[in-house]
Amino acid sequence: HLNSNSIGNAGASALAEVLNTNTTLTHLALDGNDIDNIDSFGLVFATNTTLKILGVGNNEIGDISAISFFESLKTNQSLIELRINNNRFGEIGLIQLTLMLGTNNTLKTLDLRNSKINNTGIELIANALKTNTGLEKINLEWNIFDEYLPLKSAFEYNTTILEKPCYIDDKGINTYITQACKKNEKMYMGTYFTRLNYYNMPDLLKKALITTLLFGMIKHDNMVQCILPMRVWIIIFQFWTRKDWS
């Protein structure tokens, strides 16, 4: 792990050169290192077959570097986890990422948190997920899209993602996503609270939220994985046991 060490482009290139001949390293974390150019890793993926996990999140990677990087991943058959969250690439880089997902079925986990993905971007990702048969987990938290219908459609086609991003935001439960998640019995339902202001919700919405969570747990039994902070479970318990519950 070399996170947050101000390695920069020169350091990243030096590490990439070493990886061209290295046959033992399986996990490399370069998150938060002021890197804006990862072109050198394109050569790595052409020769290195041992690197399984790469973290380059929280850097400054823009569209130009992202294009060449994702291009190199199209035929890679070793990398199974990629963290590239919170970088600077936009729609152009995202297009190349989705093209990569169309051919790469080795990658299992993809972290795209806080990547400024808008409604156009989420539609691109959703279309790629319809045909991708490798990904098992994709993290889309803290983005800016508010249109969930493309994801609903994608999840009806995709049966390989085990943990789907079923979001609950300050507008309440998103019907499109929860319905799509319930339809696929094979998945683990990851329930994320994003921008949730529980205390300011109307009581009716609170009841709907709690009922949906508990119903999902009962319906899917062990097939559900609810990822909730302890404080949220305490709130749910307190509300569930209120005397005015009806």
Q: What is the pLDDT of residue 195?
A: 37
Chain centroid to Cα 31, Å, comes to: 16
Full-model pTM? 0.72
DSSP-assigned beta bridge partners for residue 139:
111
- DSSP state letters, 5-71: S--HHHHHHHHHHHHTT-SS--EEE--SS-----THHHHHHHH-----EEE--SS---HHHHHHHHH
- Closest by Cα among 85, 61, 93, 81 to 141: 85
| Rounded CA separation 92/75 (Å) | 20
DSSP class of residue 217 equals: H
Q: Amino acid identity of 210? A: I
| Rounded CA separation 95/140 (Å) | 16
Q: What is the pLDDT of residue 43?
A: 82
Q: What is the pLDDT of residue 205?
A: 60
Q: What is the pLDDT of residue 203?
A: 66
Instruction: Extract the residue ranges of the chain whose pLDDT is less than 70.
Output: 163-246
User: Is the Cβ–Cβ distance between 163 and 137 less than 8 Å?
Assistant: yes
172-228 tens-digit pLDDT: 334 444 444 444 444 433 333 333 445 555 666 666 666 665 555 444 443 334 444
Indicate the pairing of strand 163-169 with strand 188-193. Answer: parallel
- Closest by Cα among 102, 87, 109, 99 to 38: 87
- Closest by Cα among 180, 160, 168, 179 to 227: 168
DSSP-assigned beta bridge partners for residue 55:
29, 83
User: Sign of the CA dihedral 23, 29, 34, 36?
Assistant: positive
| Rounded CA separation 79/105 (Å) | 10
For the record, the structure tokens of 216 come out as: 């999902």
